[in-house]
Amino acid sequence: MEIKVVDTKGKETAAKVKLADSIFGIEPNDHAIYLDVKQYLAAQRQGTHKAKERGEITGSTRKIKKQKGTGTARAGSIKSPIFRGGGRIFGPRPRNYDFKLNVKVKRLARKSALTYKAKENNIIVVDKMDLNEIKTKAFMNMMSDMNIAFEKVLFVLPEDNNNVYLSSRNIQGANVVTADTLNTYQILDANKLVIVEGAVEKIQTILN
C-alpha cells in the first residue's frame, strides 16, 4: 500500500512511500501479539518483593506454653505463622519474571501490530523531523500542526536525535523511539504512529 508523505506542518508533499504488504498488510496474529506484550510487561517487573518467613523473624525461641493440659493446640514458637507478628507462609520471594520468546514470534507480533495501525489509517509518514534546539513548545506546535496534539503518539526515528527526544520528554502521551527499538507494546499503546520516512525502510529491513 502507498501512503502520502507529509511535512512537520501537516501538509502533504509530492512524495509517496510504499508500505510493504509483507509487514503492513499481513493477516494479524493476535496470539503472537499477546505473547510479545506479556513478555514485555513481565520484563518491566522488578521482582524485588519479599516477605519474611518464620526462620527470618526476630523473636524468642522458647516454648511459649506447656505442651499438654491447656485445652488448646500445642505451640512451640512465637514466630509461628498462626500468631500475630509471626512469619508468613509461602510468602513472595525475589524472582525474575522474564521468559524466553522466539524471535520469529516477536517479529510476527510487530508485523501484526503494524498491520492493525495501517488498517485503521493511524500511520503518518513525515519527510523529516529536525529541531534546531531543545524546545518543548516547538515540538508541541509541530504536533498541533499535524492535528495530533493531546493524543498518545509514538514517533519513530531512523536514528537517535537528542533534540527531538528531549523536546518531547515533558509532553504527556508523546513517546519517541528509534526504528531498531520499536516493540509491539509501544505500537499498540499509541493512538497514532508517526514514522519518519527514513525509518520506514529501516523497519522493513529489520522485520524482513
Structural domain boundaries in the chain: 2-45+97-207, 48-96
Distance separating alpha carbons of residues 136 and 168, to the nearest angstrom: 6
Q: How far apart are CA 190 and CA 120, in angstroms?
A: 12
Pairing status of strand 153-157 against strand 12-18 = unpaired
Residue type, 159: E
196 SS3 class? strand
Q: How many CB atoms lie within 10 A of CB 126?
A: 22
CA distance 31 to 171: 32
Residues 6+ apart with CB under 8 A from 116: 28, 188
Per-residue pLDDT of the chain (208 residues; tens, 9 = 90+): 888 998 888 888 888 899 999 999 999 999 999 999 999 999 999 999 999 999 999 988 889 899 999 999 998 899 999 999 999 999 999 999 999 999 999 999 999 999 999 999 999 999 988 888 899 999 999 999 899 988 899 999 999 989 999 999 999 999 999 999 999 999 999 999 999 999 999 999 999 8
- Predicted pLDDT at 40: 96
Model pLDDT, residue 165: 93
User: What is the pTM (predicted TM-score) of this model?
Assistant: 0.83
pLDDT at position 37, please? 97
pLDDT value, residue 98? 94
Buried/exposed 44-76: b ≥16 CB within 10 Å, e otherwise? eeeeeeeeebbeebeeeeeeeeeeeeeeeeeee
90: Cβ contacts below 8 Å, ≥ 6 apart: none
The CATH class of the 2-45+97-207 domain is alpha beta
Helical residues (DSSP H) of the chain, grouped into ranges: 21-24, 30-44, 103-119, 136-145, 162-168, 184-189, 197-207
